[in-house]
Amino acid sequence: MLPVNRKGETAKEDFLVEMHMESKISDAKTHRPVVLFFLTMVFNTVIAVFLTFFGFREDFVVNLIFSQCIGLSICVLVTIAHWFFGNLSPLMRMFLFTAALILGSVAGTLLGMTITGVDTSLFFEKNVSFVHVVSLGIVFGSIISYFFFSRHRISMTERRAEEERIRRITSEKKAVETELRLLQAQIEPHFLFNTLSNILSLLDTDLKKGQTMLIDLIHYLRTSLKKTREDITTIGKEMEMIRAYLNIFRVRMEDRLNYRIDMPDSIKELPFPPMLVQPLVENAIKHGLEPKIEGGEVWIHGVEDGEVLRLEIADTGVGMYKRGASGLGLSNIRERLKSLYGDKGRLILEENRPSGLKAIIEVPHARD
C-alpha cells in the first residue's frame, strides 16, 4: 500500500502548481490597469497630433487636453462597465459599453471645457463644434476599446488554454495513480498468503474443501485482474466475484463470518463499473469483522429506487472508530464515481444498527 499521506501530498502538489499559475496571472492583473492607462494616454496624444495636423481647432495644447480628458474618461467608464459584464447577455454588454462610451465622451468634453476655461453651459446650447468633439470621442473610443477588448480576449484565451493543460496533466496523473492503487488493492499480500496457507493445509486434511477454495481463489484473481483493464462489467458478474471472495473468507473464518448477497434478478444484467464494491467488502471484513472476536455478518443487497440504483454493503463489525487508514480506498471509490457519474454517483457511509458500518453506493439506474 502507498503511504497514507500520499493523497495529501498530491493535493498539495496540485495546489502548488495552481498557486504558481495564479501568481503569474495576478501579476498580470495588477499591472493591467497601469498599462491600460498608459496606452490610452499614448493613443490620446496620437489623436491630438492627428487632429492638429488636419487643422481641427488649430491649437495642439487644447486638442491634447480634450483628447486626454475624453480618452481617459471613456477608459475609466468602460473599465467600470467591464467589471459588471459578469453573466450579462451580449446585448446588455453592448448596451452598457455604448452607454459608457457616450457618457465618457460627454463627461470628457465637459472636463476639457472646464480645464481650458470655456463656459460649460455653452455645451448645452446648439454649439455644433462641441457635438463634433463628442462624436469624435465616440469614434476613436470605439476603435481603441476594440483594440483593448481583443487584447484582453487573447490573454484570456491563452490563460484558459494554460489552465486546461494543467488540468489535463493533473487528471492524467490521477488516472494512473488510481490504476496503480487498484492493482495493489487486489493482490493484498496478507490475503494471498493466508489463503494459500489454508489451501496448503487443506491438501492434507480435506482435499475437497481445498480444491473448492483454490477454485474460488482462481476465480477471484482472474476476474479482479482482468477487470482493471475493462471499463464495465455487470452487477451479476461482479457479485459472482464477491461471492468467491467471501467464500474464501468463510473457510478461513468459519462461523465468525456469515454473509448474504441479495440482488433482484432485474438488476443482474445491468452494467456496472468493476472493483467498486470489492474494496468495500474488503473493508467490512478487514476492518470490521476480523478485529471482532465473535465475528459477524456481511450483507450486500441491491435496491432499485426510481431513478437510483443503490448497493448497500453492511457489516456488524467493530464500526468506524477503530478503522484508521481505510479512507484511502474510499476516496479512490469516490473519485471513480465522480468521474463516471458526476454528481449522480455517490458513496455514503452510515453507522449500521445495532453495530458496524454501512457503505452505500448510489448510481443512476441504467434502464434500457
What b-and-e string marks burial along 155-166, b requiring 16 or more CB atoms within 10 Å of the CB? eeeeeeeeeeee
CA distance 75 to 67: 12
Single residue of 4, 131, 169, 183 touching other proteins by CB under 8 A:
4
Our finding on whether 291 is near other proteins (CB under 8 A) is yes
Count of C-beta atoms within a 10 Å radius of residue 226: 12
Rank residues 190 and 229 by Cβ distance to other proteins and give the closer one: 190
Of 171, 197, 211, 266, the one binding other proteins (CB under 8 A) is 197
Instruction: Give residues with Cβ within 8 angstroms of 85, minimum separation 6.
Output: 93, 96
List 119, 125, 254, 307, residue binding other proteins (CB under 8 A): 254
Should residue 307 be labelled a site residue for other proteins when binding is judged by CB under 8 A?
no
Work out the widest C-alpha separation in the chain, in whole angstroms.
Answer: 115
SS3 5: coil
Contact stretch for other proteins (CB under 8 A) within 108-116, 124-132, 239-247, 341-349: 341-349
Distance CA 332, CA 339 (A): 11
229 burial level (CB within 10 Å; 0-12, 13-18, 19+): exposed
DSSP string, 214-244: HHHHHHHHHHHHHHTT-S-EEHHHHHHHHHH
| Rg value, the chain, Cα | 35
Instruction: Report if residue 20 touches other proteins, rule: CB under 8 A.
Output: yes
* Pairing mode, strands 296-305 and 257-262: parallel
Among 205, 265, 305, 368, indicate the residue that binds other proteins (CB under 8 A).
205
Q: Which stretch binds other proteins (CB under 8 A): 13-21, 44-52, 86-94, 223-231?
A: 13-21
Q: How far is the CB of 48 from other proteins (least distance, A)?
A: 33
Residue 174 binds other proteins, judged by CB under 8 A? no
- Among 193, 207, 215, 231, indicate the residue that binds other proteins (CB under 8 A): 193
Q: Is 16 in the site for other proteins (CB under 8 A)?
A: yes
Classify residue 3 as left (phi > 0), alpha (psi -120 to 50) or beta. Answer: beta
Candidates 142, 170, 194, 339: give the one binding other proteins (CB under 8 A): 194
Q: Are 229 and 277 in contact (CB under 8 A)?
A: no
Residue 8 touches other proteins, criterion: CB under 8 A: yes
Q: Which segment (146-154, 266-274, 275-283, 288-296) binds other proteins by CB under 8 A?
A: 288-296
* Residue 208 lies near other proteins (rule: CB under 8 A): no
Does residue 330 touch other proteins according to CB under 8 A? Answer: yes
Interacting residues toward other proteins by CB under 8 A: 4-5, 7-9, 11-12, 14-16, 18-20, 22-23, 26, 29, 189-190, 192-194, 196-198, 200-202, 204-205, 251-254, 256, 290-293, 320-321, 323-325, 327, 330-331, 334, 343, 348-351, 353, 357
